[in-house]
Structure 1
Amino acid sequence: MTLHRIKMPLIIISLLVGLVLSITLAVTMGSVDIKPATVWKIALSQVPGFSGWIPVDWSKGEQTIIWDIRFPRVLLGAIVGAGLSVVGVAIQSLVRNSLADPYILGVSSGASVGATLVILFGAFSIFGQFALSLGAFAGALLSILLIFTLSRIGGQNSTVRLLMSGIAISAILSAITSLIIFSAPNEHGIRSVLFWMSGSLAGGKWEYLTIPTIIVLICLFVLMAQYRSLNAMLMGEESAGTLGVNTTQFRKLLLMITALLTGVIVAISGAIGFVGLMMPHIVRVMVGSDHRRVLPVSALLGAIFLIWADTIARLVFAPEELPIGIITALCGGPFFIWLMLGNSYSFGGSGR
């Protein structure tokens, strides 16, 4: 027990240091090389009370590149990575299987339908700047309800039925998204949507960070407060019920959190797959299955991973930029196959 208590703080501190280093290095990397010290001088100069203490030894161009372009994009990557990892933990607890992921199960496809309707046809436009997030949330909620209901028909809820349901719903929703794009009159909008559907942080701006940051933090804290219920759900709904968990209400909470996080993240970054699959599984190997440890470590590890995935996406074929979803799929696809072949994806059961 003492060793475990020592180990966990060391892991958190190491990941926090790794996150700061990742942010620093990612901001310095690009067509214009910038020193790490300059990055934090410029960042601190934007904080009230610090600007007068920092000598200005950088150009206006460097400030624009760092503060207006790279910094918000890198921070958006951290927020999206953390959010995808947290939603991965939530959905895996909901279905008791570590193969679950919003992208694989088709939840992201549902969010894409709602977001595409907003982008191309102005759906939910009465909600102004919140229209895209609300559209994506509505699509994600609808898809996860369909998948979960379909997988339980006949009273069974096996891994195979769940994955088959997700694949079927995802195929239908992807076809609907393609139909919406095909019907759109705006060619420029179509190109933007196609790039966005593969995942991209290219549109990262300071004004886009507020909503996803707040949503990710609220959902993380809510799940942390419910860590005992999450732990109990891993043993099955009947066992959780005997331990005092209201499984019906708790399942609804997890559905809402999954849809909300997926919707907000897809709205800001497009559909980025496999982060929610890989990070929670890796973290459980590191710290065990207790969600009090799994949730914060998954969030930090996911943030670091996506920062570097985005850095690779924008640098490997510079000045052209790859959709970040290609990088995460190249990492996540083999990981998914390894999990299936290892038959180590089910919590408290055989997975059949």
Structure 2
Amino acid sequence: MEAAFVGDWILDAENPPLQTLYAQLEKPSNIERLVFSTARLGEWDSLLMTELIRLIEHGARQNISVDITTLPAGIQGLLSLVYAVPERAETRQAPLHSRWQADLGNAALRFSKDAEAFIVFIGELAQSAFDAVIGKARFRSIDFWLYIRECGPSAFPIITLISVLIGLILAFVGSVQLTLFGAEIYIADMVGLGMTRDMGGLMAAIIMTGRSSSTFAAELGSMQVNSEIDALKSMGFEPMTFLVLPRMLALVLMLPLLCLYADFMGMLGGALVTVSFFDMAFVQYFDRTVAAVHIKDIAMGVVKCSVYGLLIALSGCQRGMQCGRSASAVGEATTSAVVTGIVFIVVADALMTMICKRLGL
């Protein structure tokens, strides 16, 4: 039997369907040999190769000999490369049709693996911190002060902008209900308590997740790709102490200070709205803020931010240390660090808020 290929057989061209040919080959007949005619064949690319391989495999299943000697020399050479090493039947896998139970189980296994890796990372970091305290481990002080600058003063512009806007938003949202009762003066109470107890530290932590956690993951991931971490190990340096510990200490120390700065800027933003739109003197706003905000409210936000700083540093450094050996792995580690850090912050904020409520703080 002779099968003719006519016209261009390229991906963008319209080609005659081969269902008729397959149907003829499947019918009980005396067809023992299949020959190709390419006299009217135009341009061709991988589409023709794919169809030829399908025909050859289909013919093999029907015990039909497929003659490729009439094909162009280029096609014959490619086919010879395809069949140079016979495929072992046991290596071909059947297509998997996963069910939702399997997807749920795989997700649970991934979560368990990530949780185990996170616990191990915390243990190694705690051991490195203890070694540094007793003098058995050291890191470069210049690196520590560099991270202090990156996690502190360098973040002031974005912290200022976001905190002032958050204060403005809180003041406007609160004024919608408070003006109904002529209680605009209590806008200062709401803004002050909202910023010091929760919003100031939360927004500072989210900003630092985008800045510092992603930076830590990208830096450590790039070092992993370039085998710099392996080089440090070969020279006798402990990566957890030399790379992770100064980053964590810098962020844990600077984030509470950023929280205090964010609280002040947020209350300043609330003052701008109250003084400008609700006929209240700045002295009145200041007096109400001082009367409403207590030391325990400020301390609560600072303590929360210390926890946030630890979680942000852990998420960024862990993802960076676990990074693969490719450029795409660095991008995945950076994305994962930011997402993990934000999830940790929100969950920790919810837990600490419920604990403080339970304790009456």
User: What is the TM-score when the length of structure 2 is the normalising length?
Assistant: 0.29
Greater RCO, CA 8 A, separation 6+: 1
Which structure is higher in strand share?
2
What TM-score do the two structures reach when normalised by structure 1? Answer: 0.29
Higher Cα radius of gyration? 2
